Structure 1
Amino acid sequence: MSTATTPADSPSARSGSADRPEGAPLSAEIVTTGTEILLGEIVDTNAAWIAQQLREAGVNLYYKTTVGDNEPRLRGVIELGLSRSDVILVTGGLGPTADDITRQAIANATGRPLVLHEGALAALQERFARFGVPMTENNRQQALIPAGAILIENPVGTAPGFIVETERGTVIALPGVPREMKHLMTETVLPYLRARSGHTGIIRRRILRTVGIGESAIDSRLRDLMDSANPTVGLAAHMGQADVRITARAATADEAEAMLDVLEARIRERIGEFIYSTTPDEPFERAVVSLLQAAGATVAVLESDPPGILARRLSTGLESYQPVSAAWMVGAPDTPEPVQRVLAGLPAPQELSETQVQSVAQALRQATGTTYGLLWLGTAGADEGVFGRTPGKTWLAVAGPGGVTTASVPFGGQDEYTLVRISNQALGVLWQQLRTSS
């Protein structure tokens, strides 16, 4: 078990909080070191994991920074952090090589000399002896920590962490190896932070995934709710859709969840028809196919260029259910003859009427005997698209037990963003019909 050598509730453990109101949550920031991370050669998973743990501990996270293996730059980031945050968590750069500069940068930023920690050195020597490997001289630097720092023992690796408490704030150094970092965070750092924060509660978050409504439209409907300090409302735009993030702080998890329940209910009163899931990262097609599965419904799909996107999304929505009974491109020779008859002689998508679109969707459903007929008829010029230079047109329709629902989109195109936007809207028409009939 990793342990800090100074009790977390000692007077020194409360340093750096003189300007923080009593009972207020700690503010923190994460600094990830490593040129390989800065250049994108390695994905930084440590920061995301630490952020999740801080949220659960009720610590406010305001900044994340990635710095290469450069001591002056890292020192500058730490000094900036000490001017604005109660706690800075630094990961990486505690190894034995020349580019492991974290301990020196923290020492310089906090005005502390590096000193040899005899206990850490003994632990290192014992570990190498157990492995039957000679300990080289450069490994001794892993036992150097800033004077007065609290050592965090590392029983699952060779690099111990440490905590430096100053009047300006606290710097916590953790190894960059994820397994080691997580162990030290769980066993030592999180209990330390909870004690520092006076157990001021926890933070709970919920994601409301939407489709069919833009970020600006959501903002206009929820603007007054977004001014609240606790719970809070935030937006995150993705390709063709947007998430509403709601967050609450409370003394207990149950209290926080109750706050989120109330806030979610208010949000649903305003944009509930666009919310399809509260599961983070759940794709829209999964929600649609789940409704199809619950209804035991099947779908026939007819698409113009580009081919196959609707059928593909529906076919991959759930492994346990395949709702697509048949799918064709417009003009395919094996398209059912009744559908071909309706299509024959129709004008280009720009000239189609809603009645003509409805007749194609109805013919598709009747010819295949499926529960729903899903139609996409649109232009696909190379210079079209949501941000294209040439106007286009796309018609969408769903024929089902409740009749035919249509939608028109004032663009076509071939780029990925446009295809996601249009296919989301097409699936949205199907989704609305399923919700109405369920």
Structure 2
Amino acid sequence: MTAEIICVGTEILLGNIVNTNAAYLSERLAALGISVFFETTVGDNPERVEEVIRTGMKRSDILILSGGLGPTKDDLTKEIAAKACGQELVEDAEAKERLTSYFTSIKRPMTENNLKQAMVPEDCTVLYNKNGTAPGMVVNAPEDKKIILLPGPPGELIPMFHEQAEPILSRLQPGILYSKVVKIDCLGESYVETQIMDLIDEQSNPTVAPYAKLGEVHLRVTAKADSEDEAKELVMPMVEELKSRFGDKIYTIEEDETLEEVVVKMLESRGDKIACAESCTGGLLAGRLINVPGASNVLEESFITYSNEAKKKYLGVKEDTLKAHGAVSEETAREMAEGVLRASGADIGVGITGLAGPGGETGTKKPGLVYIGVSRKGNTVVKKYDLRGNRAKIREVSVCRALTMIRKALSE
């Protein structure tokens, strides 16, 4: 079964927004075992939208469109899809009731054009929107094909697709698909791929597919069988094989578990508290930890010591160290990690210092140079990283590396 993704919106073509919907949908379809051969972005132009829909219907079993379902005049995706399928639009009573209730709840008058969102193609399954006003639809197209219409905002598209569209797509697929994700930290995608090339080349049942994430790599193992139990029996030996190849670089095989969640659980299980001292990351590490429920049980304190004066004042970094080695150095990272440990009384201290972009120390030190220190039980480990990318990417990857070092320290 093949699918095609069509993202509608002139603002995407102009670069005003980043098209994260296509990446999300591609990943989820791959997990369902549905092949995506084409992705198209088209502006809010009726003729061009109709053209890409008709072209897609000729070459794919499923079309998934995002955007253009709102109340304004240029929101025409639904109307054009209905036309391409030879269908009329009819009013959906529940969609209208939801619209009316929404505007009543926010105490705002509902303008007439909002009722446009309650109109749906006559032969479709309506996907009601729990996070917005525009419903989605699964339209029954000619030749047993499907056109899935989803709202453009990711906060609406993602839950609607996951909760309502995915079950429909699963039923369309013959057999049962089951997958597990193996998450690997601190290794590059190209290296990981070389280690599993034999498994990828087989492309049998199960399959293994690598996905690069910021600072980590995910391997999705997917099997198809007549029952879920049979599919699991195919998947788990492959997961065990990956464990044997990557060992403790694997931090989880749970779909929704993040690296920071693993770290927080490790801290909780040991009864440990952590304290952070951040320079170039500016609080991102603490922010990642705080995103995890239960972080209040393990995060003792966090310092953003961007300036040299702050490093000296709050962490006790020596003036001589800063003069001799600079703020971005192994020595400073070590004193930051040990200093935050002293200042907080925590069980594990982390110090991050580096150059996320131009404007810091010059000379031989270039943007992307980062030192991370982790101190626990009288032992301090400092690692040097030469990272690539813009300021935001360097900061994010630095946090990933810090989380990896924390996880390793807690495992010893």
Q: TM-score, normalised by structure 1?
A: 0.63
Of 259, 281, 287, the residue aligned with 2:234 is 259
Whether 1:105 and 2:84 are equivalent positions in the alignment is yes
Question: How far is 1:434 from its partner?
Answer: 0.8
Identify if the C-alpha distance between structure 1 residues 314 and 279 changes in structure 2 by more than 3 Å, giving closer, same or farther. same
Question: How far is 1:264 from its partner?
Answer: 1.4
Contact persistence 1:286–1:317 (CA under 8 A): yes
Please name the residue that 2:195 is paired with. 221
Question: How far is 1:431 from its partner?
Answer: 0.8
Please name the residue that 2:112 is paired with. none
Contact persistence 1:384–1:414 (CA under 8 A): no
Identify if the C-alpha distance between structure 1 residues 264 and 55 changes in structure 2 by more than 3 Å, giving closer, same or farther. closer
1: CA distance, partners of 2:379 / 2:178: 42
Please name the residue that 1:400 is paired with. 376
Q: Which runs of 5+ in 1 are unaligned?
A: 1-25, 108-113, 129-138, 146-150
1: CA distance, partners of 2:126 / 2:238: 42
Between the two proteins, the alignment pairs up a number of residues equal to: 364
**Letter matched to residue 397 of structure 2:** R
Please name the residue that 2:180 is paired with. 206
**Letter matched to residue 218 of structure 2:** D
Query: In the TM superposition, what are the counterparts of 1:355-374 in structure 2 within 5 Å?
Result: 361=337, 365=341, 368-374=344-350
Question: How far is 1:291 from its partner?
Answer: 0.8
**Letter matched to residue 326 of structure 2:** A
Whose Rg is larger?
1
Identify if the C-alpha distance between structure 1 residues 389 and 279 changes in structure 2 by more than 3 Å, giving closer, same or farther. same
Query: In the TM superposition, what are the counterparts of 1:283-294 in structure 2 within 5 Å?
Result: 283-294=258-269
Whether 1:275 and 2:253 are equivalent positions in the alignment is no
Q: Which runs of 5+ in 2 are unaligned?
A: 97-115, 129-134
Query: In the TM superposition, what are the counterparts of 1:135-150 in structure 2 within 5 Å?
Result: none
Report the aligned-residue RMSD.
Answer: 5.1
Of 429, 433, 436, the residue aligned with 2:405 is 429
Please name the residue that 1:234 is paired with. 209
Q: What is the SS of the residue equivalent to 2:314?
A: coil
Question: How far is 1:237 from its partner?
Answer: 2.1
Query: In the TM superposition, what are the counterparts of 1:382-401 in structure 2 within 5 Å?
Result: 382=358, 390=366, 393-401=369-377
Identify if the C-alpha distance between structure 1 residues 68 and 171 changes in structure 2 by more than 3 Å, giving closer, same or farther. farther
Identify if the C-alpha distance between structure 1 residues 59 and 242 changes in structure 2 by more than 3 Å, giving closer, same or farther. closer
Q: What is the SS of the residue equivalent to 1:104?
A: helix
Q: What is the SS of the residue equivalent to 2:296?
A: coil
Q: TM-score, normalised by structure 2?
A: 0.66
Q: What is the SS of the residue equivalent to 1:236?
A: strand
2: CA distance, partners of 1:322 / 1:62: 47
Q: Say which structure is richer in helix.
A: 2
Q: What is the SS of the residue equivalent to 2:358?
A: coil
Q: What is the SS of the residue equivalent to 2:184?
A: strand
2: CA distance, partners of 1:306 / 1:59: 39
Q: What is the SS of the residue equivalent to 1:101?
A: helix
Please name the residue that 2:4 is paired with. 29
Query: In the TM superposition, what are the counterparts of 1:156-171 in structure 2 within 5 Å?
Result: 161-165=139-143, 170-171=144-145
Query: In the TM superposition, what are the counterparts of 1:240-389 in structure 2 within 5 Å?
Result: 240-280=215-255, 282-305=257-280, 307-328=282-303, 329=305, 331-332=309-310, 334-335=313-314, 340=318, 343=321, 346-348=324-326, 352=330, 361=337, 365=341, 368-379=344-355, 382=358
Q: What is the SS of the residue equivalent to 2:240?
A: helix
Q: What is the SS of the residue equivalent to 1:268?
A: helix
Contact persistence 2:125–2:138 (CA under 8 A): yes
Contact persistence 1:67–1:73 (CA under 8 A): yes
Identify if the C-alpha distance between structure 1 residues 34 and 164 changes in structure 2 by more than 3 Å, giving closer, same or farther. farther
Identify if the C-alpha distance between structure 1 residues 306 and 81 changes in structure 2 by more than 3 Å, giving closer, same or farther. closer
Question: How far is 1:324 from its partner?
Answer: 3.4
1: CA distance, partners of 2:46 / 2:196: 45
Please name the residue that 2:393 is paired with. 417
Does 222-231 or 320-329 show the bigger shift? 320-329
2: CA distance, partners of 1:152 / 1:44: 26
Q: Deviations along 1:53-93, whole A, 9 cap, x unmatched?
A: 8965x655544445456555345434543553345567898
Identify if the C-alpha distance between structure 1 residues 264 and 124 changes in structure 2 by more than 3 Å, giving closer, same or farther. closer
2: CA distance, partners of 1:93 / 1:414: 32
Please name the residue that 1:172 is paired with. 146
2: CA distance, partners of 1:295 / 1:320: 14
1: CA distance, partners of 2:270 / 2:260: 15
Q: Deviations along 1:247-292, whole A, 9 cap, x unmatched?
A: 2222212222222211111112222322223344644222212211
Fraction of identical pairs, as percent: 25
Identify if the C-alpha distance between structure 1 residues 427 and 343 changes in structure 2 by more than 3 Å, giving closer, same or farther. farther
Contact persistence 1:371–1:400 (CA under 8 A): yes
Q: What is the SS of the residue equivalent to 1:256?
A: helix
1: CA distance, partners of 2:124 / 2:142: 11
Contact persistence 1:37–1:43 (CA under 8 A): yes
Identify if the C-alpha distance between structure 1 residues 416 and 66 changes in structure 2 by more than 3 Å, giving closer, same or farther. closer
2: CA distance, partners of 1:245 / 1:232: 8
2: CA distance, partners of 1:144 / 1:363: 64
**Letter matched to residue 216 of structure 1:** S
